[in-house]
């Protein structure tokens, strides 16, 4: 499925459709206020060209973001490569980048554990137990 030349609106419709196909519960039909590309397309087509989407309310945003991990399970390769993220202020982006760097460092130093970011902390979990270990959590105010 080739989507690179589609309009942002068409891609967004396809994303919502794919998310709905993977959930047995109520269908997600968020009301979209606006959709636009951010910046200019790079000459290297392998580099993502971000889309900014504005929804009518924060509940729709939470619903879309909470289901975004389902895209990784999509039968379509295009959807498996998508990444959805909330809009962040410059300060929040900087804070998140520090968390990502810390998580990458932990992945290198502790490959036997799962590492993820939750509630502004890096959490490490033993792969065998799959439960959070408080001793390896990194609290960031």
The per-residue b/e assignment along 95-108, b for 16 or more CB within 10 angstroms, e otherwise, is ebeebeebbeebee
Residue 129: partners with Cβ closer than 8 Å, 6 or more residues away: none
Tens digit of pLDDT for each residue in 48-106?
778 888 888 888 888 888 878 877 877 777 777 777 888 888 899 899 999 999 999 99
What pLDDT is attached to residue 19? 65
Residue 83, Cβ neighbours under 10 Å: how many? Answer: 9
HSE-CB for 44 with a 13 A CA cutoff: 3
Tokens coding 99: 């968390």
Helices (H), the chain: 8-21, 58-67, 77-80, 90-109
- Our measurement of the distance from residue 46's CA atom to the centroid of its chain's CA atoms, rounded to an integer in Å, reads 18
What's the chain's average pLDDT?
77
What are residue 126's DSSP bridge partners? 113
């Amino acid at each position: 499925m080739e989507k690179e030349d589609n309009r942002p609106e068409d891609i967004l419709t396809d994303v919502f459709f794919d998310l709905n196909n993977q959930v047995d519960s109520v269908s997600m039909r968020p009301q979209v206020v606006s959709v636009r590309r951010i910046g200019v397309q790079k000459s290297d087509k392998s580099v993502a060209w971000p889309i900014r989407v504005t929804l009518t309310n924060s509940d729709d945003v939470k619903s879309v973001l909470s289901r975004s991990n389902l895209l990784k399970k999509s039968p379509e390769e295009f959807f498996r490569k998508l990444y959805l993220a909330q809009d962040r202020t410059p300060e929040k982006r900087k804070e998140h980048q520090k968390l990502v760097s810390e998580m990458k460092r932990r992945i290198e130093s502790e490959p036997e554990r799962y590492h993820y970011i939750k509630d502004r902390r890096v959490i490490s979990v033993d792969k065998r137990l799959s439960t959070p270990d408080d001793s390896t959590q990194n609290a960031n105010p």
